[in-house]
Amino acid sequence: MPQLQSTLGDFSVLPISVPGVPAYPKSTVHHLYVRKNTPKIPTPDDDRSLFLTNVPVDSTHLHIRSLFTSLVGAGRFESVTFEDERKPSSQALADLLPAQAVRLATHAKKRKRADDEDAEHAREEELARLPPTWNRPLRKAGGTAVVVLADEKSVERVLKSVAKANKTGKYPVWGEGLPAQSTILGAKWLKAHIRLNFPDTDLVEAAVNQFFTVYNNREKEAAELAKRLRNEPDEDGFVTVTSGGGRTAPAKRAQAEEARRKMLEKAEKKREELSNFYRFQLRERKKEEEAELVKRFEEDRRRVDAMREKRGKFRPES
């Protein structure tokens, strides 16, 4: 077997052995590219996370967990987030519910209650979704993912294991040890998709009813948010005076959306301030480390100069 390239730029190349399937009974090698995660906006988990690209299209959370377990052993893998599961911060803020926007903008301190409310909202939205039509998702070709490990030492161990795999030619096997149900694709997968396209009418009816319940609750929350912010001063200290009753539904909705937009803008501004402060802390820490290194260097240099001067003054007795 020809020697494969073990690195590509900042990436370490991890060859993965992909077993054959009935439709193509020959094994092949897939190349996964791995490096330390260095996002534009730093996060507390960056030191213990890895960035992957060219993830296999049939990747699942179980596949990635199994892969990293084969590299560094059990207990070091924490989570994986695929490209299609990540949202930009602006989109994540736009998806906030009115009550969440209020908490984010005002930094509400009742954390447990807020978490319970978010969990309840998530449960309601889950019930309002139509039944899925695919029992297993496929990833975009050449897609990316971020893996979070137990600690920074685990990251180094993964990179060493990748280098060792390239050196020895013993590649991890894709999907090894996983239950057969989690690896089903091909004809069975397509048949399941056709079957799931025709769900039970009771399930569909329940999901639709729950959707309208959630929608009405969100409309109510948005109206309450608009009412709450109606007399709140703007950045210039002015209060916008609005008319009393008699509004039409579209007007209420527009006002609620405007109030929600203002809340999200405030939240985004505070998030950027926190992010900038975090960058500032990193820069200051690096400056302090550099200053400490310079200080130690100067002390060592003075110590060496003193030793040389002392050595020059020494005269042995004749």
- Structural domains for the chain: 7-90+135-195 (3.30.70.330)
Per-residue pLDDT reduced to its tens digit, 46-94: 999 999 999 999 999 999 999 999 999 988 999 999 988 865 544 444 4
3-state SS class at 200? coil
Q: What is the per-residue DSSP string for 261-303?
A: HHHHHHHHHHHHHHHHHHHHHHHHHHHHHHHHHHHHHHHHHHH
Q: Which helix (H) or strand (E) holds 22?
A: none
Tokens found for residue 209:
């009813």
Q: Provide the pLDDT for residue 92.
A: 46
pLDDT: which is higher, 34 or 184: 34
Q: What is the largest CA-CA distance in the chain?
A: 114
**Calpha distance 10→19 (Å, rounded):** 28
Cα distance between residue 261 and residue 234, in whole Å? 13
Residue that wins the pLDDT comparison between 17 and 23: 17
What local confidence, expressed as pLDDT, does residue 157 receive?
Answer: 95
Cβ-based neighbour number of residue 255 at 10 Å: 19
Residue 306 — pLDDT band, cuts 50, 70, 90? confident
**Can you give the pLDDT at residue 168?**
92
pLDDT confidence band for 29 (50 / 70 / 90): very high
Q: What are the Cα distances from residue 13, in Å, to 20, 76, 158, 176, 193?
A: 22, 20, 12, 20, 34
**Per residue in 127-167, pLDDT tens?**
888 888 888 888 999 999 999 999 999 999 999 999 999 99
Residue 234: per-residue pLDDT: 58
Phi, psi of 128 (to 5 degrees): -85, -5
Q: Residue 113 has what pLDDT? A: 62
Q: Residues 229-251: pLDDT tens digits?
A: 666 665 555 555 555 554 545 55
> What is the per-residue pLDDT for 162?
95
Mean pLDDT, range 285-299, rounded to an integer: 86
pTM check: above 0.75: no
Q: What is the SS3 assignment for 317?
A: coil
User: What are the strands of the beta sheet with 28-36, ordered from one edge?
Assistant: 7-8, 11-18, 28-36, 49-53, 144-149, 77-82
Measured in whole angstroms, how far is the alpha carbon of residue 228 from the centre of its chain? 33
Residue 311 pLDDT exceeds 70: yes
pLDDT digits (tens, 9 = 90+) for 168-220: 999 999 998 888 777 778 888 899 999 999 999 999 999 999 989 888 888 88
More confident residue, 268 or 97: 268
Q: Distance (Å, rounded) from C-alpha 98 to C-alpha 104? A: 10
